[in-house]
Amino acid sequence: MFDKIEELLLQVRQFQTGDKNEIEQFRIVYLGKKGSVTELFEKFREVPAEQKKEFGQKINGLKQAVNAKLDELKAALSTETIAEKSDLTRPGLPLELGSRHPISIVRNRITEIFRSIGFAVADGPEVEDDWHNFTALNLPEYHPARDMQDTFFIEQNPDILLRTHTSSVQIRYMENNEPPMRILSPGRVFRNEAISSRSHCIFHQIEGLYIDKDVSFADLKQTIQYFTTELFGKSKIRMRPSYFPFTEPSAEVDVYWGLNSETDYRITKGTGWLEILGCGMVDPAVLKNVNIDPEKYSGYAFGMGIERIVMLLYQISDIRLFFENDLRTLEQFKTL
Ligand code: DAH
């Protein structure tokens, strides 16, 4: 009899199933009216008095083991049914998509236009040294043109500064590559200027550079015209003589915006023309600074402020809106 109980106990402990019906079957086999445990309880009367105590403990132990096993199997079953009950085909909660910042939208658009005519994107550091930001660009120390760009210097080392323009990337690229080269460098620049609706101490520029044999001013003009046509849908441009230390000759480019609306009058101050960028033929002195032979190679460069172009495209009147991260502003660019 005791052997029989031990045997049943082992069977109970080893029993496993994930099936609801089999669990019920298991219950009936042991605890049902004719179940093995029930039968053992009935045999209790026949057990000799001196064994009654031990027998009682053993069958109670067996009954507990059956109940524990039932609890265990049912618990495993109920976690399964939760998974089964869930509708796994139900769509998830709607995820709200963010949007790009207007500066990024326009930067990407400009980059794409130039990429389509063979310009590669080149990067450079925002913390620069004097050589790449000024000296190599034909702006030696004490040169008055340095005053055109109010600079943030590092107090402990005036050789280190926050770049005032992306022209520094030209130098870095030319130092490390051989012509022909055709690059575009978008990036953040810094100037120690008072913040107003028109100027900010942090802003963004895009620099372009093309160096090859026989690059001419006509190539420059053609490229700029292609760009204004693609970006604004306007192909009428004019080039006004200007001065930049790193280009010779230098020009400022105006695009003919037109005078079709009140806004056109306002933004062009009644002239129809809008200035959009600075450019010129890379000064031979700059080429020499990066060990490119100016007798063999020539090239052009241009630079533009991204904020200005975004403000034109979307008629935004205050540059500070780009830096406030106010959702009421940014959400308006969601579908662009
Ligand atoms: N670096 C100039 C600035 O920040 C912009 C510029 C003008 C870049 C003419 C050029 C260029 O490459 O040729 O004002």
205 Cα–ligand 1 center, Å: 9
Q: Is the CB of 280 under 6 A from ligand 1?
A: yes
47/81 Cα distance (integer angstroms): 44
Q: What is the dihedral of CA 210, 211, 213, 219, to 10 degrees?
A: 20
Q: Is the CB of 136 under 6 A from ligand 1?
A: no
CA 64 from chain center: how many Å?
Answer: 60
Q: How confident is the model at residue 192 (pLDDT cuts 50, 70, 90)?
A: very high
Nearest Cα to 282, choosing from 274, 272, 290, 273? 290
Model-level pTM? 0.73
Q: Is the peptide bond before 180 cis (omega within 30 degrees of 0)?
A: yes
- Looking at the predicted structure, is the pLDDT value of residue 213 above 80? yes
Q: Whose CA is nearest to atom 5 of ligand 1?
A: 303
pLDDT tens track for 216-271 = 999 999 999 999 999 999 999 999 999 999 999 999 999 999 999 998 999 899 99
